[in-house]
Amino acid sequence: MRGEVVNVSTALTLSGVSRRYGAIAAATSLDLTVAPGEMLTVIGPSGCGKSTMLRMIAGLERPDSGTITIAGDVVADRRNFQEPERRRVGLVFQDHALFPNLTVAKNVAFGLNRLSLPERRKRVAEVLELVRLDHLAARYPHELSGGEQQRVAVARALAPRPAVVLLDEPFSSLDETLRGRVRADIVAVLKETGTTSLLVTHDQTEALSVGDRVVVMHDGVIEQADTPEKVFEQPATRFVASFMGDADFLPANVHNALLTCEIGVVSTVPGWANCDVDVDVVLRPHEVALAPDPGASARVVSLEYRGAFVLHYVRLASGRTLRSWQPHHVRYAPGTAVTVTVASGTSPTLLVDDRAVTEPPIGIAGHALQAPEPFPIPTSR
Amino acid sequence: MSESAVLVDAAVAGQRRSRLTGNGRPLWSAAVLLAAALVAMPVIAVVVDGLGSLNSGSIPQDIGSMVLVTVLLLVGVGAGTLLIGGGLAWLVTAYDFPLRKTLSWALVLPLAMPAYILGFVFLSTFDVGGPVQAGLRAVLGPGAWLPDVRTLAGAVVVLSLTLYPYVYLLARSALVEQSATTYDAARTLGAGRARTLWRVVLPLARPSLAAALALVMMETLTDFATVQYFNVQTVSVGVYLVWKGTFDFNAATQLSVLVLLFAVAVLGGERLLRGRSRFHQKPGRGEGLQPRKLTGWTRWVASLACLGVLGLGFILPVVQLIGWAAGEALASSEPLVDPRFAEYLVNSVTVALLVAVVCAGLALVTGHAQRLGGGPVVATAAQVTTFGYAVPGAVIGIGVLIAFARVDGWLESAGVPGGTGLLVTGSVAGILVAYVVRFLAPAYQAVDASFAKISPALTSSALSLGATPRRLLARVHLPLARRGVAVALALVAIDAVKELPIVLLLRPFGFTTVSVWVYELARENFWEKAALPALGIIAVAVIPVYFLFRRSAGLQAGAVTHAR
């Protein structure tokens, strides 16, 4: 937890939330705090527990242990369990889940049955205008395009002014061309209304580009919950590094603040003076530079043309493979001998036992007297 | 009969996925448990009472012959339906001949012919006084030996002719759908048509055939009206005669335990035959078995074989009934419709509507509660509600009687004056309860099929939008499952109008339905008078056959129908 955040009221808190299905731990001790108005993207491989987390927040699933708080109300803990209809949580699904027997306006009004009729009409018009679909109020869902259906689904979820909106892979049923536009529309609406939201996705680019913060899950555990930049540039674990973008790992050594691995000196590590530690260094393809050199021992093995750039696979003397992005006009034929270096200015992530370290591990280190380096990695647990 | 829905469901099953949404709601879950308890009640009552009275010593003497006759009847009808149903399914699938398309669906029609109606038409034609024997005697002389039709063999013929469509339908769907891709694969691997049939198609169809046979035997076991025309004394007949003749509770209960054992044996046999193969192959794409065109006289033989079965099982009896009804209308000076007909019709319709509403309602509640979660207990209970179709009518009847007697006893001991006499005066209630137990399965399956098409996300959305379970039911689940509910209402109402054994067993003195009336008139050989109500029952019974046919045709097309 981030201890220094002084009790600003939070929109959603999970603490120690766990759920098992028989022998399978779908969620293990999840801790998460979401500030009002924040948009979080949740990502992980299938079966990582992201849907379980969503279902527990919505009240469709009861946690085995832990506490869930929504807008200050405890909705689930050891004693209490609030049913979904009393939680003020909005849900948006991949298949839109509009009521096929109701018009657009009636779909949107479904959650407003406690309002008086004029109020209800006003609110329906409001949210439909928000998603720019006021002209389709009388249509039935099957008369709308996929993108329009999804906008209605968002309008319907927003209508009762929920404390938090959960979107479960809302764009994955839309085709590629439509997707970007619908996503931009919907994200704009959520931001405009200051809605707290959790958006589950399996698309890394989507997770990084849309979220104020990105929650990466794996095997029922939150591996990292942080800004997109930090998740990408300072992954907290080996899994996050390899899941969020391409990453290669090389065994390396830090000796007297100097990070060295097979390809030579990578960088200096401030604060790691007086120590001699074995680590793994995380190298992303854009950080790896190549230069043809007939005398070098590394060889280009294969190329993948990716449009804007060409991904080069390079085999090092040890047999390990590194990947390197080269501008699209640069192609080193397979077999070319190259020297491999790390682009200047890179300060790569170091891993010990699959976790990122920012200071010399206790016990191995000599003295770590200086203040920690400028990028403390907040771990979410 | 109620199994029509079960049959269709067998084809739809396997597409099941987890569709629970939530953690269960105590009240709704309790309603499902209650429905399950209701269905389980007669069986439990019979077992408990039967075991309790084992040493009371009043075991009927002719029990041995009853068991033997039952076994012979089951085996005979099983073999008969397998031969007729399986043979016809193979014929219309593997060969092309005149009228094949029409015949391939018309062969399902005998499903609409209750055995107790075909039975008396059959007897009127072939029995001693009937036109066939009269004609033969005229030719052969009055002393000539002629076979007695009021025998086990006669019962086997009649039951086989009405029950073969079960085998026909399942065998045909196995031949057409299940093995299409496998058939193609076998043919490309070099197996000939005949070899593919024996090595691939039949083994694949075996589970379907086993299921169909089990259905046929259950229907046979439930019947104790038709077989009585033929003086065949099965254990189910035994229950009926003992109860109606002597009101000997103990003996009737012990016999129903025996009927129950037969049912268990049939289901066990099905499991055994099915082996470890889990059927419901995905209907794959493929050409599958292509009908080979018959030429020359063989094609007419094929057409005649189908027409013959259809004629005996449906067309000729219907024509005969129409003839009688018309003759009756022209000849008699009495009013065309017996005044009692109206009363009996009202009885039938009232009972049918009540039972249909209760069954469809329970089915809807069960589907709804399952959607709301509740875990394995509720899921199991929902399955239990469908077991009633596998319990023979005699067991349900006696079980309900026992349970009512118990309730009566409790009320009496609780100080309710005179006990209430539920056992006697409440027997119409008994009929209702017994019908619900028996017909909840088709209702549930129809409603459940509709629920399967409702996305779980829809349920979740409605809940998150603040809908209480009751509002969720009224605004979302009911409107979206309305088609299934309508099918359930229709199927149950029709089954209830047709149903005979349970009402025979449980009806209070003076309470008659149309089916009972037909049966009684037929027993007294007033065939002409029975014709009109019998035609009415057949007309009503054709409706679910139509449903069944449309739904299975839809399945074959594999069309993804839009939800709206």
pLDDT exceeds 70 at position A155 = yes
pLDDT at A237: 94
Spatial distance between the Cα atoms of B78 and A289, rounded to a whole number of angstroms:
79
pLDDT digits (tens, 9 = 90+) for A168-189: 999 888 888 888 888 999 999 9
Residue of B nearest to A95 (CA): B457
Chain A environment of B23 (Cβ under 8 Å): 59-62, 81, 83
Residue of B nearest to A106 (CA): B475
Chain A environment of B455 (Cβ under 8 Å): 93, 95, 97
Domains of chain A: 12-237 (3.40.50.300), 246-357 (2.40.50.140)
> Could you tell me the two tokens for B523?
């027993």
Chain A environment of B479 (Cβ under 8 Å): 101
pLDDT digits (tens, 9 = 90+) for A99-118: 999 999 999 999 999 999 99
Q: How many CB pairs under 8 A join A and B?
A: 89
Confidence at A127, pLDDT banded by 50, 70, 90? very high
pLDDT at B18: 41
pLDDT at A378: 47
Q: Is B407 on the interface with A (CB under 8 A)?
A: no
pLDDT digits (tens, 9 = 90+) for A209-237: 999 999 999 999 999 999 999 999 999 99
For chain A, helix, strand, coil in percent to 5 are 25, 35, 40
- Mutate: best of A62, A68, A80, A101, partner B, most B CBs <10 A: A101
Assign A315 to helix, strand or coil: strand
pLDDT digits (tens, 9 = 90+) for A6-44: 344 789 999 999 998 888 889 999 999 999 999 999 999
Q: Is B455 on the interface with A (CB under 8 A)?
A: yes
Residue of A nearest to B478 (CA): A101
Tell me if B464 and A113 make a contact (CB, 8 A cut-off).
no
Spatial distance between the Cα atoms of A368 and A1, rounded to a whole number of angstroms:
24
Count other C-beta atoms under 10 Å from residue A372's C-beta.
Answer: 12
What's the average model confidence in pLDDT over B377-404?
88
Q: How distant is the Cα of B488 from the closest Cα of chain A, in angstroms?
A: 21
What's the average model confidence in pLDDT over B33-39?
93
pLDDT digits (tens, 9 = 90+) for A333-361: 999 999 999 988 888 899 988 899 888 87
A91 bridge partner residues: A166
Confidence at B393, pLDDT banded by 50, 70, 90? confident
Confidence at A375, pLDDT banded by 50, 70, 90? very low
- Mutate: best of B29, B372, B450, B460, partner A, most A CBs <10 A: B460
Query: For A250-259, A332-341, B93-102, B179-188, which range has the lowest pLDDT when averaged over its residues?
Result: B179-188
Spatial distance between the Cα atoms of B551 and B559, rounded to a whole number of angstroms:
11
pLDDT exceeds 60 at position B68 = yes
Give the pairing type, strands A197-201 and A164-168: parallel
Burial class (CB in 10 A: 0-12, 13-18, 19+), A204: middle
pLDDT at A370: 43
Q: How distant is the Cα of A85 from the closest Cα of chain B, in angstroms?
A: 4
Chain B environment of A84 (Cβ under 8 Å): 22, 460, 463-464
pLDDT at B129: 76
- Of B23, B117, B15, nearest to B517 by C-alpha is B117
Q: Is B458 on the interface with A (CB under 8 A)?
A: yes
pLDDT exceeds 70 at position B563 = no
* Cβ atoms of residues B171 and B212 within 8 Å: yes
What's the average model confidence in pLDDT over A238-254?
92
pLDDT at A238: 94
Q: How distant is the Cα of A98 from the closest Cα of chain B, in angstroms?
A: 7
Q: Is B22 on the interface with A (CB under 8 A)?
A: yes
Tell me if B457 and A94 make a contact (CB, 8 A cut-off).
yes
pTM to 2 decimal places: 0.82
pLDDT at A368: 43
pLDDT exceeds 70 at position B556 = no
